[in-house]
Amino acid sequence: MDLLLKEEDMANESYEDAIAGLSKLLSEKADLGSVAAAKIKQITAELEAASSKGFDPVERIKTGFAHFRTEKYEKNPDLYGALAKGQSPKFMVFACSDSRVCPSHILNFQPGEAFVIRNIANMVPPYDKTKYSGVGAAIEYAVLHLKVENIVVIGHSCCGGIKGLMSIPDDGSTASDFIENWVKICSAAKSTVKMAESKPGLRKPVFTKVEQLRPGTGGHTLTVKVVSAKMVLQKGRADGPQGRQMKIAECLVGDETGLIIFTARNDQVDLMQEGTTVILRNAKIDMFKGSMRLAVDKWGRVEVTEPADFTVKEDNNLSLIEYELVNVVEE
């Protein structure tokens, strides 16, 4: 009996609502068994057949409003009663007219929460009393009369308006009466994007292996594991005047080719924990008593990264090699 009543109710619903109702029925009546499953299969087939007969726009509007009335309006009389007396939205939202990106669906706005302004490519034109008065009036009303507290601009990918903007020829010619003239509002942004596209991409760093390090060199980027870390200097207190504190640690780091001492300073010290894998960017070689030390100054960076899968070659410590310092006579 319940199943027959459900079937009659679904006749007045949209296809999507009917399918949702069937899913709910299955979850509520887990013990219906094979007879119910067969009946539901039959109903689903009938719904699919009905939906393939053609789209009736008037019927779609009618069923959509009927759903709103029964599922939203009649179930929330207090909300809609209050909204009938006035609105006090917290948000003013600029969104694209694109049918795929409805702000109320994307952000789950309820009636009365957002004052929405939609146009091609979610444009916010510059202030001009004689142009763009439609958008200007909406902004003025929301800010001065509704006192909205938050302004949101929603962009989205695959926007036809932005595609049109980027496709306007350099001579400014247009193929339509309104679209290009509207999206030209963002011509300055288009120029910025075009300039960025024309710039050469950032050069990818070339990673150096420990065994390749040489005295007096710099600009190295390495991925190393921290084998050990020893604090050799600590002055001041973190909670002292202006929070000034000096810390220096000697850290033995390495990769599959060898080891070297890295001199960590201040904030770097906290990153150099034993067993951690770090990337040293723009590192340089300092000489200390004739041996090499690796360091990263203000022009470089120390980054903790994912654990490396290599085994450190601990029998090749470059910091144990002493170099004789000699004066080179220029000819």
**128 annotated among ligand-binding-site residues:** no
Which residues is 254 bridged to in the sheet?
225, 259
| Residue 98 a catalytic site member | yes
Please indicate whether residue 203 is annotated as part of the active site: no
Number of H helices, E strands in the chain: 11, 9
- At 325, list the tokens: 């310092």
DSSP string, 41-55: HHHHHHHHHHHTT--
- What distances in angstroms separate CA 209 from CA 3, 206, 321, one per listed residue? 72, 10, 17
For the chain, give the number of residues.
331
Residues contacting residue 110 through CB under 8 Å, at least 6 positions apart:
79
Among this protein's residues, is 102 annotated catalytic? no
Residue 31, annotated as binding a ligand: no
Q: Which of 159, 220, 251, 255 is catalytic?
A: 159
Which position among 17, 67, 102, 156 bears the catalytic label?
156
DSSP assigned state of 184 = G
Is 2 among the annotated ligand-binding positions? no
Indicate if 100 belongs to the active site.
Answer: yes
Contacts with 113 (C-beta within 8 Å, 6 or more apart), sequence order: 89, 90, 91
Answer yes or no: 67 catalytic.
no
The catalytic residue among 17, 67, 98, 281 is 98
Structure tokens at 329: 């006579």
DSSP per residue, 296-326? --TTSEEEE-SPP-SPP-TT-BGGG------
Q: Flag whether 251 is marked binding.
A: no
Q: Are 330 and 298 in contact (CB under 8 A)?
A: no
- Residue 49 CA to residue 174 CA, distance in Å, equals 45
Q: Note whether 251 and 226 are within 8 A (CB).
A: yes
Residue from 60, 69, 100, 214 carrying the catalytic annotation = 100
Strands 150-153, 91-96: pairing is parallel
Output the CA–CA distances (angstroms, integers) from residue 96 to 129, 136, 161, 279, in the order listed: 23, 16, 9, 42
Please state at what angle helix 2-10 crosses helix 15-28, rounded to 10 degrees: 160
Cα–Cα nearest to 294, from 325, 275, 268, 324 = 268
What are the binding residues?
96, 98, 156, 159
What are the binding residues for Zn(2+)?
96, 98, 156, 159
Active site residues: 96, 98, 100, 156, 159
